[in-house]
Amino acid sequence: MGEQPVRVLACGDVEGRLNALFNRVQTIQKKTGQFDLLLCVGEFFGTTPEAEAEWQQYKTGAKKAPIHTYILGAASQETVKNFPSADGCELAENITYLGRRGVFTGVSGLQIAYVSGREAQQEPAPAHCFTAKDLSALVSPLTSSSKFRGVDILLTSQWPRGVWQYANNPEVNTKFCGSTSVANLADKLKPRYHFAALEGTHYERLPYRNHLVLQENAQHVSRFIALATVNNPAKKKYLYAFNIIPMKTMDPSELVKQPQDVTENPYRRSTKDKTDEVQSEPSHQFFFDLGKKQDGRGRDQQHDGDRHHQGQPKQPRRHPQPTGPCWFCLASPQVEKHLVISIGTHCYLALAKGGLTPHHILILPIGHYQSVVDLSSEVVEEMEKYKSALTSFYKSKGERCVLFERNYRSQHLQLQVVPVPLDRCTTEDIKEAFMVQAQEQQMELMEIPEHTDLKQIAPPGTPYFYVELDSGEKLFYRIQKHFPLQFGREVLASEAVLNIPTRADWKECKQTREEEEESCKQLRDDFQPFDFAWED
């Protein structure tokens, strides 16, 4: 067959919403062409009369799935009745139950391993659970072959426990999420893609290695993707589309290529990591959205975690508070209010002290957040609004802007926005200036893929330096030990960009309070036509 990619759709818990799922699939196929198969993990059947009525239409042939659909077995006692046996079978035209566990190999050579249900907590195991015997019956025949390199796809309904180690945090309570047996299974089977559901959320982990660097031969990476429930009200992603060339037809050197954002294997943690994990479960800020509507601007508010009593209405989220004095919290007595240009609901703009240029501005959260990756969704949303307002403002002045953030030896997030005249240099020149200066300092700036979120690369607490160019390109450096504090300014002040080397250090550019007030008033008036906060 040669290297022919297979076009695959994967889906989270369907819970009986068959029409919603298949309508969505049809829409996608109209736009992008036919897919080869749809793989469903989690709970496929629903328990409501509506779900039962929908299923009957497919079962009787009144309706037909628009794609070959492969599903896992029951994940709860209530849905067991929909599966006639533990072995796989066709349940309706184009809808196939894979079975309790096994390996399915398509005509293309694509190899899919699967395990239905949840890990059994007792013997004999209920019908919707798998046992250690099921797993060894799946693993042994595969791994006993000396040619075994891994499977293309692994389908489990439960998450693997600890998959988030060394990576971005999911929106789940990691104390209770996932199965250790599934984690061991994933470690042994080395899937290129591993899909799971049941947690009602979407989580795409950074790819991880299946070998120890410099100690073992390079192997392919694995990607874990958890999917949400079909048609969930929060609009979390429940369908994932991808192309995959089966491992057996791939060029081995292509197969083992490592992406830039690859991490260590989460299932092979050292003993130290394992003891650390027990002592330091992540705090609740990773599981809950920190930023519901605030009740005012800059009042003395405190962050109340997620402690609300049963029966009482949930209190609105408060801004997080600093542990000591902070120069940038809007409610703080230390903040220099004469530098403020605009105040939104969650963010504000301020003139940079000792700015590189007269229009050098900071975007700051009103509440106390240390970095962009700590922000709640509505703060991020408003920050994006400010970014686009500033982009339009600078454009009207014949300038493009560069944004950078240093999350290192800083207490409160400051997103620096610096305009560069369009006739001075191109975006490509600016990008090159950052790359060259980073190399000179033995730092490797990496480019973040277009649709990758910073949170996926830098979990909260990671020191980093980050640049965003007006083309949408993003550069990232994970700070190891030391980092030149003025690095961002030095690059922009350099000959290659603004050519004002004497202004690299803000302390050398300080103005008197009167000058600052004058500059700020001027800037506030200039920016007003672009200021969405002014309209509120």
Q: Is residue 321 part of a domain?
A: no
226 and 347 co-located in one domain: no
Q: Is residue 240 part of a domain?
A: yes
What token pair was written down for 387? Answer: 């970014």
22 and 155 co-located in one domain: yes
Which of 239, 256, 273 is where one domain is finished? Answer: 256
390 and 513 co-located in one domain: yes
Between CA 240 and CA 227 the distance in angstroms is 8
Residues lower than pLDDT 70 in the chain: 1-3, 269-324, 450-451, 535-536
Residue 153 is part of which domain span? 6-256
Residue 88 pLDDT: 84
221 and 346 co-located in one domain: no
Which of 223, 256, 289 is where one domain is finished? Answer: 256
Residue 451 pLDDT: 67
225 and 368 co-located in one domain: no
Could you read off the pLDDT of 152-191 as tens digits, one per residue?
A: 999 999 999 999 998 888 999 888 899 999 999 999 999 9
Q: Is residue 484 part of a domain?
A: yes
341 and 252 co-located in one domain: no
252 and 342 co-located in one domain: no
346 and 248 co-located in one domain: no
Task: Say how many domains are in the chain.
Answer: 2
Q: Is residue 261 part of a domain?
A: no
Provide the greatest CA pair distance for the chain.
Answer: 81
Q: Is residue 324 part of a domain?
A: no
Give the E-state strand segments of 141-222 in sequence order.
153-156, 193-196, 203-204
249 and 345 co-located in one domain: no
282 preceded by cis ω (within 30°)?
A: no
Long-range contacts of the stretch 82-87 (C-beta < 8 A, 24+)? 82/44, 82/45, 82/55, 86/127
What's the pTM? Answer: 0.54
In terms of C-beta density within 10 A (0-12 exposed, 13-18 middle, 19 or more buried), how is residue 319 classed? buried
Residue 410 pLDDT: 82
Q: Is residue 288 part of a domain?
A: no
Residues 6+ apart with CB under 8 A from 266: 162, 163, 164, 165, 166, 167, 183, 205, 208
**C-alpha dist (Å) from residue 183 to 188, 197, 246:** 9, 14, 23
Cα distance from N-terminal residue to C-terminal residue, the chain? 61
252 and 349 co-located in one domain: no
Q: Is residue 318 part of a domain?
A: no
Which of 256, 290, 308 is where one domain is finished? Answer: 256
Q: What is the domain-level CATH number for residue 184?
A: 3.60.21
Q: Is residue 472 part of a domain?
A: yes
Residue in this structure with the two tokens 């999917």, named with its chain if needed: 227
Q: What is the domain-level CATH number for residue 377?
A: 3.30.428.10
Residue 373 pLDDT: 86
Residue 67 pLDDT: 94
Residue 217 pLDDT: 85
Instruction: Give the H or E element holding residue 83.
Output: none
Q: Which residue in 30, 12, 34 sits closest to 21, CA to CA?
A: 12
CB 208 within 8 A of CB 165: no
Residue 230 pLDDT: 97
Could you read off the pLDDT of 240-297 as tens digits, one per residue?
A: 999 999 998 998 888 999 888 899 999 986 434 443 443 333 322 222 222 223 333 3
Residue 375 pLDDT: 87
Residue 323 pLDDT: 58
